[in-house]
Amino acid sequence: GIQVEQSPPDLILQEGANSTLRCNFSDSVNNLQWFHQNPWGQLINLFYIPSGTKQNGRLSATTVATERYSLLYISSSQTTDSGVYFCAVERSSNTGKLIFGQGTTLQVKP
């Protein structure tokens, strides 16, 4: 099956700092999404971004499908950004199976 690797596995930031999270995948995809799991366990969809660049407030994401990676940028981080960030992908040849990476655990300190 498709491999999804996220880096770094853990990240600690001071409030106000910027960060970049990376997602590498091993096959062609037609679906890529970023999620945030907050400390209470809720999973929130951040971006549906199979290609190109999107921005939502302090967060933005870029997917370069031809090079099989996606980046999530967090600017001016806040303590509420803490939690786990997941990338999930779906192979072009296997629609229906959205496969998750292991996640990046982010802790933002005040």
Partner 1 sequence: NAGVTQTPKFQVLKTGQSMTLQCAQDMNHEYMSWYRQDPGMGLRLIHYSVGAGITDQGEVPNGYNVSRSTTEDFPLRLLSAAPSQTSVYFCASRLSWAGELFFGEGSRLTVL
Binding site for partner 1 (CB under 8 A): 1, 30-31, 33, 35, 41-45, 48, 50, 86, 88, 95-103
Q: Please identify, using beta-carbon distances, which residue of 88 and 106 lies nearer to partner 1.
A: 88
Tokens of 49: 């971004």
> Smallest gap, in angstroms, from Cβ of residue 14 to partner 1?
26
Q: Please identify, using beta-carbon distances, which residue of 9 and 16 lies nearer to partner 1.
A: 9
Pairing of strands 98-100, 83-91: antiparallel
> Smallest gap, in angstroms, from Cβ of residue 90 to partner 1?
8
> Smallest gap, in angstroms, from Cβ of residue 42 to partner 1?
6
Q: Please identify, using beta-carbon distances, which residue of 74 and 84 lies nearer to partner 1.
A: 84
| 63, 52 Cβ separation under 8 angstroms | yes
β-bridge partners, 43: 37
Nearest Cα residue to 103 out of 29, 24, 41, 10: 10
β-bridge partners, 12: 107
